[in-house]
Amino acid sequence: MDDQVTRTERTTVKVKNGLDLSNIQLSDVIDINFLQRFQDSFAKGVGVASVTVNLEGDAITNPSNYTRYCMDYIHATSKGDKRCAESHRKAGEEAARLGKPVVYECHAGLIDFAAPIILEGRQIGTILGGQVLMDIPNEEKYRKIAKEIGISEDGYFESVKEIRQLSKESVEAAADVLYIVANNMSKAEYQQQILTAKSKLLSDSLDKISLSMKKLAASVSMVNVSQVHLDKEMNNVNTINNKINEMMDLTKNIADMISAQKIEMARLDRLNLVGEMAASIGHEVRNPLTTVRGYLQFLNKKTEFSKYASSLEMMIEELDRANEIITEFLSLAKDRRVDLKESDLNKIIARIVPLMQADGVLKGIQINLELGDIPSLILDEKEIRQLILNLVKNAIEATDDDGSVAIATYITEDRPVLSIADEGCGIPKEFLDKIGTPFLSTKPQGTGLGLAVCYRIAERHSASINIHSKEGIGTTVKVIF
């Protein structure tokens, strides 16, 4: 018996909730496609390079924002490749030893960082990045490196001049953000897998109960009903049979609820990890953009720059677009303050009708209102305005010219509902469960932040969002308060 307990304890160390921790790979607990999109956006926005590797040092994402210095020179020779791999390996080991990101100078003289991805105390991968400088490059130093790995000294040093310079604090902040996001992603997916394992266990148990009940029901039906003197007993049997049917219905309802909760938990986990990142870097990115915009406006007013006016205006417009994206990004922050007070949802909708009609008129789309009798709600009016405008904008973009978008409010099951329905092409089934994921969009130029913001606003108002869509018919989004 003692031996059996010991073996069980050993197994528990290795397997937790049905998941074998010793064999878990990075790709098992991270959505690689989501990580790639995030890594690309982050690297481009902050101005660093980045790639994610497994324990063997093999890349599981494509390199993001890699410099010409590294791609065309360092990796152009086998010697440079080997040095790079060795540098990454040592940095990954040091990051794992410390349990936090490390910033270091790589073999090629660039400033890099390594952020460990740790699950249940075990490293499962590393995020590598950087490829920046903190000081003006020393020509002699880089010519020596070029000679050592056998590449053109002149071309090599010219490419060094293209490297972006960042402060140590900026590099550390970038490493910290990627560390937080990747580790939250792995933990969220791991918890999701635990939930899935438990759900399967419960589902299997319910299936067995259901099968037993069916067998019991079958045996009950074999009772000889012609024996009148057993009427009383048969009434009891029929009562049991009815209870069995009720239990079978309950079993199905529980399974459906578990499935819905799993989808919603996964969605919230993805929102939370991006929300943490938004709170960490949103303001730091916005401040330099504001400064650049100010200088561009200043130059645009100077007569000597008049021939560049159209280019300057285009740059200002693009900065404004970037600022809008950052504003949406910051809306994902979980701890964002809200000004909740008693409000009339119908009046909020009525006040922004002109804005919605202005969006629709370009495509000849009619905005139809059907506002029912609903009670006052505790809302942050600015956030609800943003939620409605985002949802209506999506509906207008999805609807063909001269179509219509219907906005309705009503009560269902004692809960107020805001409904927005379009006549668009519908959402493909493979996207439905992932709708609301930041950086995931069905639109070619979409950021995937609009709906993510709506889900976050709904969460802050203790509301839920349900989406019903049929391809070729349209989509209805319901916000249930």
pLDDT > 90 fraction of the chain, expressed in percent and rounded? 17
Question: Does the pLDDT value for residue 227 go beyond 50?
Answer: no
Question: Does the pLDDT value for residue 297 go beyond 70?
Answer: yes
Residue 263: predicted pLDDT = 52
Question: Does the pLDDT value for residue 424 go beyond 80?
Answer: yes
Q: Which residue has the higher pLDDT, 331 or 221?
A: 331
pLDDT > 70 fraction of the chain, expressed in percent and rounded? 65
| 252-272 b/e (C-beta count within 10 Å ≥ 16 → b) | eeebeebeeeeeeebbbbbbb
Question: Does the pLDDT value for residue 270 go beyond 60?
Answer: no
Residue 56: predicted pLDDT = 77
- How far is Cα of residue 365 from the mean position of the Cα atoms in its chain? 31
Residue 192: predicted pLDDT = 62
Question: Does the pLDDT value for residue 209 go beyond 70?
Answer: no
The CA distance from 68 to 160, in Å, is 9
- How many other CB atoms are found less than 10 A from the CB of residue 285? 17
Question: Does the pLDDT value for residue 194 go beyond 50?
Answer: yes
Q: Which residue has the higher pLDDT, 80 or 310?
A: 80
The CA distance from 135 to 360, in Å, is 52
Token pair of 57, please?
């040092």
- In sequence order, what are the residues at sequence separation of 6 or more whose Cβ sits closer than 8 angstroms to the Cβ of residue 58? none
Residue 4: predicted pLDDT = 37
**pLDDT tens by residue, 127-139:** 899 999 988 888 8
CA atoms within 13 A on the CB side of 401: 2
Residue 407: predicted pLDDT = 95
Question: Does the pLDDT value for residue 412 go beyond 60?
Answer: yes
From residue 208, alpha-carbon distances to 204, 245, 343, 370 in Å are 6, 15, 50, 48
Question: Does the pLDDT value for residue 219 go beyond 80?
Answer: no
Token pair of 338, please?
């809200």
Residue 372: predicted pLDDT = 94
Residue 14: predicted pLDDT = 39
Stretch among 145-159, 207-221, 363-377 having the lowest mean pLDDT:
207-221
**Which pLDDT band holds residue 15 (cuts at 50, 70, 90)?**
very low
Q: Which residue has the higher pLDDT, 126 or 223?
A: 126
Q: Which residue has the higher pLDDT, 326 or 447?
A: 326
- Which residue type is seen at 157? F
Average pLDDT score over the chain: 75
Residue 17: predicted pLDDT = 47
Q: Which residue has the higher pLDDT, 389 or 188?
A: 389
The CA distance from 380 to 377, in Å, is 10
The CA distance from 172 to 344, in Å, is 46
**Which pLDDT band holds residue 197 (cuts at 50, 70, 90)?**
low
Residue 379: predicted pLDDT = 92
pTM: 0.45
**Which pLDDT band holds residue 310 (cuts at 50, 70, 90)?**
confident
**Which pLDDT band holds residue 226 (cuts at 50, 70, 90)?**
very low
Select from 374, 350, 336, 377 the least CA-distant residue to 459.
Answer: 336
Residue 44: predicted pLDDT = 83
Q: What is the rounded average pLDDT of the residues 342-366?
A: 89
Q: What is the rounded average pLDDT of the residues 180-194?
A: 68
Q: What is the rounded average pLDDT of the residues 98-124?
A: 88
Residue 373: predicted pLDDT = 94
What is the phi/psi pair of residue 411, to 5°? Answer: -110, 135
**Torsion (CA) 372, 376, 377, 383 in degrees, nearest 10:** 80
Is residue 61 a contact partner of residue 35, using CB atoms and an 8 Å limit? yes
Question: Does the pLDDT value for residue 257 go beyond 60?
Answer: no
Residue 443: predicted pLDDT = 55
Residue 2: predicted pLDDT = 40
The CA distance from 124 to 53, in Å, is 9
One DSSP character per residue, 308-366 reads: GHHHHHHHHHHHHHHHHHHHHHHHT-TT-----EEE-HHHHHHHTHHHHHHHHHTTT-E
